[in-house]
A and B are shown apart, each in its own frame.
Chain A
Amino acid sequence: MSYIIDRRLNGKNKSMVNRQRFLKRYKQHIKEAVSDAVNHRSITDMERGENISIPERSINEPIIHHGQGGRQHRVLPGNKQFNTGDQLDKPPQGGGGGGGSGKASNQGDGEDDFTFFITREEFLNYLFDDLALPNMIKKSLSQSKEFKTRRAGFVSEGTPNNLSIVKSLRNAHARRIGMGAGKRKKLKLLRTELEQLLAEPVPDSLRIKVLEDEIAHMEARLRALPFIDELDLRYRNQVRVPVPTSKAVMFCLMDVSGSMTQDVKDLAKRFYLLLYLFLEKNYEHIEIVFIRHHTSAKEVDEEEFFYSRETGGTIVSSALKMMNDIVQERYLSGGWNIYGAQASDGDNWDDDSPLCADILANQLLPVVQHFAYVEITPHEHQALWYAYQGVQQANAQKFACAQIRNAADIYPVFRELFAKERYQEAV
């Protein structure tokens, strides 16, 4: 006797615990892989998970087994031309077992990387692992979540005060048309037949009676169709949406002057991208202001910021002034957390650098949560860097400077700028 059991309804994620344990165990590898991916991915490409590769040897579960060598006998199927005593040359070493030995190919597989997929959420989690923005909690802790209701279409269940009469009656009408269609058609046929019978010289009264009864019955049934049914009712839907309680605005400042090469811009792009993704994760609502500058500053959209080209000299203070103007104009009230991120190759008119430091120290830093400056240059520090050093010493909690030399530097710099320790010091 066999029992047949339907297990399909049982949970299917029995292996989740083990999967998590695996991820936990190889956290370090995964983090490295993620950080690598960030360096290599293109900017528009952050909205997906990632294939993580771990070298097979690091996750190998060792067991005792035979290595290669020694004197072995192997029985193989499919002999075509060999005879006893034939000698076959061995394939060159490392050639991968041309003799067709199963063993060699198994070990060949062993050299591959172990690859698996993590979701976007997991990807970002690893990316932002144990980071927190400076001073952020100060504001967010004191704020509780607020909701407001908003209309969101129609639903079939609700309270009478939300009843949408027009929508409900329209549904009722459609239903009556739909449900009565067959009956009306039949009624029409019956009536035609009745007329024909009546038109005949000798009416078949019995048949006429039957038809009349049937017509009456049909009409009664048509009348019995409810004018409005519970099925027809539609209610205005109201949803509660959280009012963003922690709002942030991120200012992206970038030098696009002639001295900024494409490589340098690419590096800057990645810096903003990471910052943005990070903010997106920590704030419910974020606005971004893109300011590009050469000798004069201009507020642009994202597309233009990253992808259009311009050349010219460099006056950094123009961008800082513009940022200050925008802050004064739009973000001073309303609980905005203001973040600034500036990228440059460090070039500036010498006379301008002290001015930059002045605007930053006296006008911007008092209102922002944090301001980060990255100098993207493989060379010596430039004038602006030295000007900013003074500001940084005075405002270590809010202002960070870092130098980026190549793509692989971005992620460590990013971590450094927003590392938890720094945050804790700030608190």
Chain B
Amino acid sequence: MRHYLSTDSDWTFELLQTYDSEIARIAEGYGLDTYPNQIEIISAEQMMDAYSSVGMPIGYNHWSYGKQFLATQKNYQRGQMGLAYEIVINSNPCIAYLMEENTMAMQALVIAHACYGHNSFFKGNYLFKTWTDADSIIDYLLFAKNYVRKCEEKHGQEAVEQILDACHALQNYGVDRYRRPRPISAAEEKVRQNERERILQQQVNDLWRTLPSKPGEASALRERRFPEEPQENILYFLEKNAPLLEPWQRELIRIVRKISQYFYPQRQTQVMNEGWATFWHYTLLNHLYDEGKITDGFMMEILSSHTNVVYQPTFDSPYYSGINPYALGFNMYQDIKRICEHPTDEDRAWFPDIAGKDWLETIHFAMQNFKDESFVQQYLSPHLMREFHLFSLYDDDKKSYYKVEAIHNESGYHTVREMLARQYDLSVREPNIQIWSVDMQGDRSLTLRHTMQDGTPLASDVHEVMKHLHYLWGFDIHLETWDKDSQIARQSCPSTSAT
């Protein structure tokens, strides 16, 4: 006699609790290590609110979130899009929003997906461990919101908005890609913030000291380059060195920078993260079904939803909008499992390390130690490339045709895999722009250097961004574009100065 957890499609709080503890039990059996869960039931309107604050549970006020909200609202009301079933926040406890409209089956799916899939990814992946601090993020966001509000009271909404606009334009360049940041708590943050304001200002003043220096010093100073090495973290550089900013403005830059850093791992692990969560909702709920705890109808609903999520339209389909990270990620984890359990000769040749090994251990290792780029490079198998019918197209803007450079065959596997991995490499996806030098003795202008990759130019937006940069720096901005050791373009803001 089977004993179903529920047979009705409506959910209740008791049922949620039951499902959650069942799923938790199974997840533990699979060795999923998670933060405690905080599951919040919200309405569709609240979901729209959550959407528009780009996944932050507490956000400072800014018009761009209002724009986001209006766009979401319009699309939703016109029925052009459904809302996500859930939003999950990388925090400790891990907050997951569930929509009240979901059926019981959907709630179970979402709990497995978000509260055990994403949650364990947040806790286990090295990028998240390095870059984010789940314990303090909520506190920090609250600190940020209050700080922005206080600044608005003190300096006016417009002044604050101007700084935030400028920072938002540069937020992708507010991350240290290589240095490990040290997480601190919000209380500490507050104490340090006051101290920082004072000291920072002193240092900046020192940098821009206009007192005549002693005769012996002068030449040494002229020789000194500033910054000594190119800086990739533009916002950090501005926060520390922009000559004219007030302390509160520096703090605002810092806030945008910190939040940007918090999202940095998510931008690099979309395929892995969504794939992991999808893999686990699929595995956990199938397990629950095999135990006879959920009905056939329940499972059908879950599978139909799952199938939609992992659907990959082909490139010539009108629905095609890039490679679906859910589809690619889910299939890659499934494929790793297959390679471990039922390796073919081809798999043995390609993956001698994992073929025939314990699948659970293998996918945990994969989840913990990679980002999208290296994950694809490491684990995309010929089998999967064939299944997706992947091919790589080479597009040279000097030629009138695209060239098919590799397809899913013996000679093409390596190229296709490498090219796909490159697509997920942030350093390829985003233009490489660094702070190059500051004219310390002259007009204080700031020069940035864009190193071209594969001859790809910057989008014209960059003019607008430079205006923002100019606002923050306070003096002229020059942007040089270099391609293979030769400068091919130079633009300035204000554009009246040399071109």
Q: Residues of A with Cβ closer than 8 Å to B?
A: 1-8, 10, 12-15, 17-25, 59-80, 82-90, 99-102, 105-106, 114-117
B430-469 Cβ-contact flags toward A at 8 Å (1 or 0): 1101000000000000000000111111111111110010
Q: Which residue of A lies closest to B93 (CB)?
A: A3
Tell whether B208 is near chain A: CB-to-CB under 8 Å.
Answer: no
CB of B394 within 8 A of CB of A71, answer yes
CB of B62 within 8 A of CB of A21, answer yes
Among B403, B408, B459, point to the contact of A65 (Cβ < 8 A). B459
Among B169, B320, B395, point to the contact of A71 (Cβ < 8 A). B395
CB of B407 within 8 A of CB of A74, answer no
Tell me whether A15 and B52 are in contact in the complex, defined as CB-CB below 8 angstroms, given that A2-B115, A4-B17, A84-B411 are known contacts: yes
Tell whether B39 is near chain A: CB-to-CB under 8 Å.
Answer: yes
**Which A residues touch B61, using CB under 8 A?**
17-18, 21
**Which B residues touch A62, using CB under 8 A?**
169, 461-465, 468
In the complex, besides A12-B43, A64-B431, A64-B465, 20 extra interface pairs with C-beta distance below 8 angstroms are A1-B36, A1-B37, A2-B115, A3-B93, A10-B42, A18-B64, A18-B69, A62-B169, A62-B461, A62-B463, A63-B171, A63-B461, A67-B459, A71-B454, A71-B455, A72-B394, A74-B393, A74-B419, A78-B312, A78-B316
Tell whether B20 is near chain A: CB-to-CB under 8 Å.
Answer: yes
In the bound assembly, the distance between CA atoms of A283 and B214 in angstroms comes to 76
Tell whether B74 is near chain A: CB-to-CB under 8 Å.
Answer: yes
CB of B317 within 8 A of CB of A7, answer no
CB of B37 within 8 A of CB of A77, answer no
Tell me whether A22 and B66 are in contact in the complex, defined as CB-CB below 8 angstroms, given that A73-B394, A75-B323 are known contacts: yes
Q: Which residue of B lies closest to A22 (CB)?
A: B66
**Which A residues touch B171, using CB under 8 A?**
63
Q: Residues of B with Cβ closer than 8 Å to A?
A: 13, 16-17, 20-21, 24, 36-43, 45-46, 48-49, 52-53, 61-71, 73-74, 77, 93, 97, 100, 115, 157, 161, 165, 168-173, 312-317, 320-323, 388-397, 400-409, 411-412, 416, 419-420, 422-423, 429-431, 433, 452-465, 468
CB of A20 within 8 A of CB of B66, answer yes
Tell me whether A64 and B320 are in contact in the complex, defined as CB-CB below 8 angstroms, given that A15-B52, A22-B66 are known contacts: no
Q: Which residue of B lies closest to A18 (CB)?
A: B66
Among A22, A59, A77, point to the contact of B312 (Cβ < 8 A). A77
**Which B residues touch A15, using CB under 8 A?**
48-49, 52-53, 65-66, 69
**Which B residues touch A105, using CB under 8 A?**
321
Tell me whether A85 and B403 are in contact in the complex, defined as CB-CB below 8 angstroms, given that A70-B455, A102-B322 are known contacts: yes
17 residue pairs from A and B, CB less than 8 Å apart = A1-B36, A2-B36, A3-B38, A5-B38, A15-B65, A25-B63, A65-B459, A72-B394, A73-B419, A78-B320, A80-B314, A82-B391, A84-B404, A84-B405, A90-B395, A105-B321, A114-B71
In the bound assembly, the distance between CA atoms of A266 and B36 in angstroms comes to 67
**Which A residues touch B42, using CB under 8 A?**
7-8, 10
Among B68, B457, B463, point to the contact of A66 (Cβ < 8 A). B457
In the bound assembly, the distance between CA atoms of A71 and B392 in angstroms comes to 13
In the bound assembly, the distance between CA atoms of A66 and B451 in angstroms comes to 12
**Which A residues touch B97, using CB under 8 A?**
7
CB distance from A304 to the nearest CB of B (A): 39
CB of A116 within 8 A of CB of B41, answer no
Tell me whether A18 and B65 are in contact in the complex, defined as CB-CB below 8 angstroms, given that A66-B457, A89-B401 are known contacts: yes
CB distance from B67 to the nearest CB of A (A): 5
CB of A12 within 8 A of CB of B39, answer no
In the bound assembly, the distance between CA atoms of A23 and B462 in angstroms comes to 26
**Which A residues touch B317, using CB under 8 A?**
78
**Which B residues touch A17, using CB under 8 A?**
61, 66
CB of B457 within 8 A of CB of A18, answer no
CB of A64 within 8 A of CB of B461, answer yes
CB distance from B401 to the nearest CB of A (A): 4
**Which A residues touch B393, using CB under 8 A?**
73-76, 88, 99
In the bound assembly, the distance between CA atoms of A72 and B403 in angstroms comes to 11
CB of A5 within 8 A of CB of B172, answer no
In the bound assembly, the distance between CA atoms of A19 and B67 in angstroms comes to 7
User: What 3 A-B pairs come out closest when comparing CB atoms?
Assistant: A78-B314, A70-B456, A22-B66
Among B13, B400, B457, point to the contact of A4 (Cβ < 8 A). B13
In the bound assembly, the distance between CA atoms of A2 and B172 in angstroms comes to 34
CB of B168 within 8 A of CB of A117, answer no
In the bound assembly, the distance between CA atoms of A75 and B400 in angstroms comes to 19
CB of A79 within 8 A of CB of B403, answer no
CB of A61 within 8 A of CB of B316, answer no
**Which B residues touch A2, using CB under 8 A?**
17, 20-21, 24, 36-39, 115
Q: Which residue of B lies closest to A73 (CB)?
A: B419
Number of residue pairs across A and B with beta carbons under 8 Å?
269
Tell me whether A84 and B409 are in contact in the complex, defined as CB-CB below 8 angstroms, given that A2-B24, A22-B63 are known contacts: yes
CB of B460 within 8 A of CB of A67, answer yes
CB of A89 within 8 A of CB of B407, answer no
**Which A residues touch B39, using CB under 8 A?**
2-5
CB distance from A15 to the nearest CB of B (A): 4
Q: Which residue of A lies closest to B376 (CB)?
A: A75
Q: Which residue of B lies closest to A4 (CB)?
A: B39
CB of B172 within 8 A of CB of A64, answer yes
Tell me whether A115 and B74 are in contact in the complex, defined as CB-CB below 8 angstroms, given that A4-B39, A18-B69 are known contacts: yes
Among A76, A101, A106, point to the contact of B391 (Cβ < 8 A). A76
B13, B46, B66, B171: residue with the most chain A Cβ atoms closer than 10 Å: B66
Tell me whether A77 and B407 are in contact in the complex, defined as CB-CB below 8 angstroms, given that A15-B65, A61-B168, A63-B171 are known contacts: no
**Which A residues touch B157, using CB under 8 A?**
21
In the bound assembly, the distance between CA atoms of A68 and B17 in angstroms comes to 51
Among A6, A20, A106, point to the contact of B41 (Cβ < 8 A). A6
Q: Which residue of B lies closest to A12 (CB)?
A: B45
In the bound assembly, the distance between CA atoms of A8 and B114 in angstroms comes to 19
CB of B460 within 8 A of CB of A19, answer no
CB of B169 within 8 A of CB of A63, answer yes
Q: Which residue of A lies closest to B402 (CB)?
A: A88
**Which A residues touch B314, using CB under 8 A?**
77-78, 80
Q: Which residue of A lies closest to B37 (CB)?
A: A2
In the bound assembly, the distance between CA atoms of A13 and B45 in angstroms comes to 8
Q: Which residue of A lies closest to B464 (CB)?
A: A62
**Which A residues touch B405, using CB under 8 A?**
73, 84
Q: Which residue of A lies closest to B72 (CB)?
A: A15
In the bound assembly, the distance between CA atoms of A78 and B416 in angstroms comes to 13
Q: Which residue of A lies closest to B401 (CB)?
A: A87
A64, A76, A87: residue with the most chain B Cβ atoms closer than 10 Å: A64
In the bound assembly, the distance between CA atoms of A18 and B64 in angstroms comes to 7
Q: Which residue of B lies closest to A75 (CB)?
A: B420
CB of A79 within 8 A of CB of B408, answer yes
Q: Which residue of B lies closest to A88 (CB)?
A: B402
**Which B residues touch A4, using CB under 8 A?**
13, 16-17, 20, 39-41
CB of B454 within 8 A of CB of A70, answer yes
In the bound assembly, the distance between CA atoms of A66 and B402 in angstroms comes to 19
**Which B residues touch A1, using CB under 8 A?**
36-37
In the bound assembly, the distance between CA atoms of A242 and B379 in angstroms comes to 76
**Which A residues touch B45, using CB under 8 A?**
12-13
**Which B residues touch A102, using CB under 8 A?**
320-322
Tell me whether A73 and B422 are in contact in the complex, defined as CB-CB below 8 angstroms, given that A7-B41, A15-B69, A78-B313 are known contacts: yes
In the bound assembly, the distance between CA atoms of A84 and B406 in angstroms comes to 5
**Which B residues touch A21, using CB under 8 A?**
61-63, 66, 157, 161
Q: Which residue of A lies closest to B41 (CB)?
A: A6
B69, B314, B391, B462: residue with the most chain A Cβ atoms closer than 10 Å: B391
